C-alpha cells in the first residue's frame, strides 16, 4: 500500500429491522456471529491487511461498543470513536474526521455488512486509478431490492440505480456493497456536521469527475441487516465460506457455457428477447453460489463478427441473463465472451471482428483472463457445456469436464474429445460436482 488508511465503521444506527434479535438491549453491530460481534469480524479482517487505525462512529447504545473494544490495544489496533448525539445519516459524521491530526484516505464500512476480503487488492485498484472514491461492487442473490452501480468498460462509475427505482430494462447484477475507499481531499467538502447521505450527497455529485470507480469482487460480502440474512451469515461463516472466497486464497470455479447450458439453445441469439433460461438454470447456479465455487459464463458469440448484432446487444442479452437469475436468487460472478470469428465470407459480416484470436473457445484466453482476476486453481475447477468445444476447452486448461445432454448434447462434431462426465442437465452436473466430490 502506497498510502496510509483510516478505517471508519458506521455503527450508530438503531437497527430497527433487527429488534427481534437485539431486543433493544444491544446495538446491532454487537450481535454475535458464532461467538464474535459483527464489528469484531470486520476489525479482524482489516487487521489482517495491516489496517490498524480504526474509528467507530457510534450512536444508539454506543457506550456498549466503546466498553467492549476500548482503545483496541487487546486486538493490536488503535481504535477511536465519534459519538453521534443526533443521527447524521451515512456520511454526516465524517466531518469530525477532519479533526484527526494526520489526514489519511478513508475506508468506510457500514456496521451491518459482513466481509472477508483481500484489502490489498481493492486498495491497489484504488491507488492505480487515482480515484476519489472506489465503491466495492459485487453480484448478489437479491439485486432486485439492492442499489445497483452502473459502470463503463473501465469500471468508472457512470450512475447509481436505487433499489426503489422502477427498472424498465435488464440490468447488470453489480450491487453497491456499502464499502468505500475515499480520498482524504473529499473531507474538505465537509464544512459542518449536518446530516448527509453518502450515496446521494457525496458519491453521486462526484461521478461527473470521472474519478469514481467500482471495484468488482467475488469475495464474501453480505448485508446482514435483516434477521434472515444475519442467520445466513452465521451459517456461511461456520461452513468456512467466508474464508474460502477471500481472494488471497486460490479459488475453485465452474465455467459454464451459455447457449444450451444456462439458456435454451436457439441457434445464434442476436436479441435479448430470444433468451430464455433453461428450466433448472437458476436453481443449479444458486446451489453453486452456496457451495464456495465461483460461477462464470464463458461463451463464444460470433453474432458480432457475423453482423447479426453489435457488442452492446450482447451486453444487453447478458444483462437479461443476470436479471432472470437474480429474480430467482442466483448470480454469476462474471460473464466473458468472444465476439470474433476467423472465417470470412458471410453476408453483412463485421470485418473488425473477422480475425483469429486467442479468446474464441477452445482457445484459453477467456479463462486465462478469469484466472488472473479471480485467483483460480484450474486443477480444482470444472467446465460444463453442451458441445465438444467446451470439452476441448476444459482439456486445454486442465479442468474437469461435464458434457450436458441439453442444447447440442455434444453433437456439434467439432472435436474428438471424451468428457470426464456426462449429465442429463445442469442439476445433475452440479450434483456430480458438489455432492459426489464434496465440492473438492
- What is the DSSP annotation of 246-310? STTS-B-EEEE-SBTTTB---SS--SGGG--B-TTHHHHHHHHHTTT-EEEEEEE-TTTTTTSS-
The pLDDT of residue 60 is above 90: no
- pLDDT score, position 40: 98
Cα torsion angle, 393, 395, 396, 399, sign: positive
Residue 339 · residue 311 · CB < 8 Å: yes
pLDDT cut 90: percent of the chain above it: 85
Q: Is residue 242 part of a domain?
A: no
Same-domain check for residues 129 and 277: no
Q: Are residues 89 and 124 in the same domain?
A: yes
Q: Note whether residue 362 is domain-resident.
A: yes
**Is there a single domain that holds both residue 165 and residue 299?**
no
Does residue 209 sit in the same domain as residue 337? no
What percentage of the chain reaches a pLDDT higher than 70?
97
In a domain, 134, yes or no: yes
Same domain, 278 and 339: yes
Distance CA 343, CA 159 (A): 39
Contacts of residue 86, defined as CB under 8 A and 6 or more positions apart, other chains included, come to none
401-436: per-residue pLDDT in tens?
999 999 999 999 999 999 999 999 999 999 999 986
393 close to 362: Cβ distance less than 8 angstroms? yes
Annotated catalytic residue: which of 53, 118, 172, 257?
Answer: 257
Position 438 scores a pLDDT of 53
Q: Which of 363, 398, 392, 395 is nearest to 378 (CA)?
A: 398
183 and 297 both lie in a single domain: no
pLDDT of 86-127, one tens digit each? 888 888 889 888 766 566 899 999 999 999 999 999 999 999
Query: Do 177 and 50 share a structural domain?
Result: yes
Which residues pair with residue 203 across a beta bridge? none
Name the domain count of the chain: 2
Q: Does 259 qualify as catalytic in the annotation?
A: yes
Same domain, yes or no, for 214 and 255? no
Tens digit of each residue's pLDDT (9 = 90 or more) over 342-396: 988 888 999 999 999 999 999 999 999 999 999 999 999 999 999 999 999 999 9
**pLDDT per position as a tens digit, 127-168:** 999 999 999 999 999 999 999 999 999 999 999 999 999 999
- 1 three-state secondary structure: coil
Pick from 206, 235, 264: which residue ends a domain? 235
For residues 127 and 56, state if they share a domain: yes
Please, what is the angle between helix 62-69 and helix 38-48, to 10°? 50
Is residue 244, in this structure, part of any structural domain at all?
Answer: no
Is residue 240 included in any domain, yes or no?
no
Based on the fold, state whether residues 179 and 322 are members of the same structural domain.
no
Q: How far apart are CA 184 and CA 8, in angstroms?
A: 12
Residue 323 lies in a domain: yes
pLDDT value at position 283?
Answer: 98
What pLDDT sits at residue 129? Answer: 97
The CATH number of residue 68's host domain is 3.90.550.10
More reliable by pLDDT, 232 or 438:
232
Last residue of a domain, one of 207, 235, 263: 235
Crossing angle of helices 38-48 and 119-128, rounded to 10°: 60
388, part of any domain: yes
Average pLDDT, the chain: 94
Establish if 241 belongs to a structural domain: no
Distance separating alpha carbons of residues 36 and 11, to the nearest angstrom:
16
pLDDT per position as a tens digit, 307-335: 999 999 999 999 999 999 999 999 999 99
Instruction: Name 212's bridge partners.
Output: 133
Domain boundary residue among 208, 235, 262?
A: 235
**Cα–Cα distance measured from residue 6 to residue 9, given in angstroms and rounded to the nearest whole number:** 10
Structural domain of 218: 5-235
Domain shared by 226 and 323, yes or no: no
Can you give the pLDDT at residue 14? Answer: 75
Tell me, what CATH number does 428's domain have?
Answer: 3.40.50.1000
User: Catalytic: which of 259, 333, 386, 390?
Assistant: 259
Do 168 and 295 lie in a common domain?
no
Amino acid at each position: 500500500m502506497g498510502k496510509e488508511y483510516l478505517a471508519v465503521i458506521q455503527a450508530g444506527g438503531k437497527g430497527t429491522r433487527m429488534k427481534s434479535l437485539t431486543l433493544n438491549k444491544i446495538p446491532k453491530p454487537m450481535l454475535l456471529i458464532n461467538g464474535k460481534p459483527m464489528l469484531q469480524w470486520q476489525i479482524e479482517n482489516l487487521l489482517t491487511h495491516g489496517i490498524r487505525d480504526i474509528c467507530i462512529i457510534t450512536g444508539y447504545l454506543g457506550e456498549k461498543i466503546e466498553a467492549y473494544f476500548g482503545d483496541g490495544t487487546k486486538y493490536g489496533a488503535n481504535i477511536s470513536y465519534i459519538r453521534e448525539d443526533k443521527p447524521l445519516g451515512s456520511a454526516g459524521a465524517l466531518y469530525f474526521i477532519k479533526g484527526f491530526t494526520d489526514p489519511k484516505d478513508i475506508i468506510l464500512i457500514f456496521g451491518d455488512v459482513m466481509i472477508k476480503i483481500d484489502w490489498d487488492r481493492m486498495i491497489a485498484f484504488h491507488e492505480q486509478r487515482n480515484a476519489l472514491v472506489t465503491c466495492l461492487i459485487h453480484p448478489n442473490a437479491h439485486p432486485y431490492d439492492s442499489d445497483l452501480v452502473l459502470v463503463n468498460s473501465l469500471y468508472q462509475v457512470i450512475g447509481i440505480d436505487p433499489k426503489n427505482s422502477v427498472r424498465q430494462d435488464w440490468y447488470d447484477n453489480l450491487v453497491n456493497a456499502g464499502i468505500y475507499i475515499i480520498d482524504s481531499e473529499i473531507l474538505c467538502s465537509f464544512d459542518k456536521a449536518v446530516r448527509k447521505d453518502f450515496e446521494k450527497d457525496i458519491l453521486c455529485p462526484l461521478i461527473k469527475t470521472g474519478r469514481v470507480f467500482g471495484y468488482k469482487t467475488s469475495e464474501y460480502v453480505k448485508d446482514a441487516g435483516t434477521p434472515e440474512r444475519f442467520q445466513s451469515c452465521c451459517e456461511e461463516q461456520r461452513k468456512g465460506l467466508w474464508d474460502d472466497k477471500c481472494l488471497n486464497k486460490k479459488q475453485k470455479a465452474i465455467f459454464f457455457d451459455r447457449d444450451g447450458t444456462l439458456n435454451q439453445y436457439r441457434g445464434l441469439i442476436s436479441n435479448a428477447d430470444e433468451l430464455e433460461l433453461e428450466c433448472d438454470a437458476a436453481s443449479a447456479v444458486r446451489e453453486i453460489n452456496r457451495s464456495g465455487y465461483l460461477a462464470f459464463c464463458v461463451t463464444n458469440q460470433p453474432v458480432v463478427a457475423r453482423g447479426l448484432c453489435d457488442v452492446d446487444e450482447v451486453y444487453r442479452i447478458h444483462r437479461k441473463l443476470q436479471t432472470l437469475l437474480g429474480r430467482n436468487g442466483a448470480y454469476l460472478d462474471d460473464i466473458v465472451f468472444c465476439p470474433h470469428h476467423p472465417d470470412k465470407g458471410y453476408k453483412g459480416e463485421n470485418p473488425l471482428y473477422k480475425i483469429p484470436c486467442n479468446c474464441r473457445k477452445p482457445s484459453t484466453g477467456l479463462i486465462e483472463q478469469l484466472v488472473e482476476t479471480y485467483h483460480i486453481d484450474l486443477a480444482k475447477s470444472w467446465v460444463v457445456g453442451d458441445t465438444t468445444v467446451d470439452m476441448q476447452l476444459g482439456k486445454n486448461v486442465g479442468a474437469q469436464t461435464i458434457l450436458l445432454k441439453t442444447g447440442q448434447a455434444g453433437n456439434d462434431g467439432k472435436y474428438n474429445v471424451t468428457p470426464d462426465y456426462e449429465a442429463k442437465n445442469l442439476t445433475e452436473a452440479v450434483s456430480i460436482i458438489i455432492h459426489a466430490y464434496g465440492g473438492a
